[in-house]
Structure 1
Amino acid sequence: MSNIGLIIEERSRDIGDFLVGRLIPFRKKRMIGPFIFIDHMGPTDLGPKKYMDVDQHPHIGLSTLTFILEGELMHEDSLGTRQLIQPGSVNWMVAGKGVSHTERTPEHLRNGNTFTAHGYQIWVALPKDMEDIEPEFHHIPATDLPSWKDGTTQFKLVAGEGYGRKSPVPVHSPLFMVEIKTEETYELNTMDNLKGEIGICIVDGGIEACGQSVEKGNILVSKVADTCKTILKPNTHLLLFGGEPFPEKRHIHWNFVSHDAQKIETAKQAWEDKTFPMMKNDKSYVPLPGS
Structure 2
Amino acid sequence: MSNIKLIIEERPSNIGNFMVGRLLPFREKRMVGPFCFIDHMGPAKLSDHENLDVAPHPHIGLSTLTYLFEGSIMHRDSLGTEVEIQPGQVNWMTAGSGIVHSERTPEYLRHSDKNLHGLQIWVALPNDLEQMSPSFTHVGEDEIPAWEENGIAFKLIAGEAFGRKSPVPVYSPLYYLELKSTTAQTVNIGSDLFGESALYILEGSISSEGHTYEPKHILIANDSKLCSFEMAENTTIYIFGGEPFPEERFIFWNFVASSKALIEDAKTRWIAQTFPKIEGETDFVPLPQLHTVKK
Name the TM tier (shorter chain). Answer: over 0.9
Shift of 1:190: 2.5
Aligned positions of 1:66-215 closer than 5 A: 66-112=66-112, 114-215=113-214
* 1:21 is aligned to 2:4: no
Quote the residue 1:290 is aligned against: 289
Q: Structure 1 residue runs of 4+, over 4 Å off?
A: none
* 1:58 is aligned to 2:51: no
SS at 2:224 equivalent: helix
- 8 Å Cα contact 1:191-1:225 kept in structure 2: yes
Q: Equivalents in 2 of 1:194, 1:4: separation in Å?
A: 15
Question: What CA RMSD, in Å, does the superposition of the two structures yield over aligned residues?
Answer: 1.2
Q: Equivalents in 2 of 1:180, 1:83: separation in Å?
A: 27
Shift of 1:227: 3.5
- Percent identity for Structure 1 against Structure 2: 51
| Number of residue pairs the alignment of both structures matches | 290
- 8 Å Cα contact 1:249-1:259 kept in structure 2: yes
- 8 Å Cα contact 2:154-2:178 kept in structure 1: yes
Change (3 A) 1:228 1:122: closer
One-letter amino acid matched to 1:78? S
- 8 Å Cα contact 1:185-1:232 kept in structure 2: yes
**What's the TM-score, normalizing by structure 1?**
0.97
- 8 Å Cα contact 1:194-1:224 kept in structure 2: no
Quote the residue 1:12 is aligned against: 12
Give ranges in structure 2 of 5+ residues lacking alignment: 291-295
Shift of 1:91: 0.2
Shift of 1:187: 1.5
- 8 Å Cα contact 1:203-1:217 kept in structure 2: yes
Quote the residue 1:33 is aligned against: 33
One-letter amino acid matched to 2:142? T
- 8 Å Cα contact 1:196-1:223 kept in structure 2: no
**What's the TM-score, normalizing by structure 2?**
0.96
Shift of 1:62: 0.2
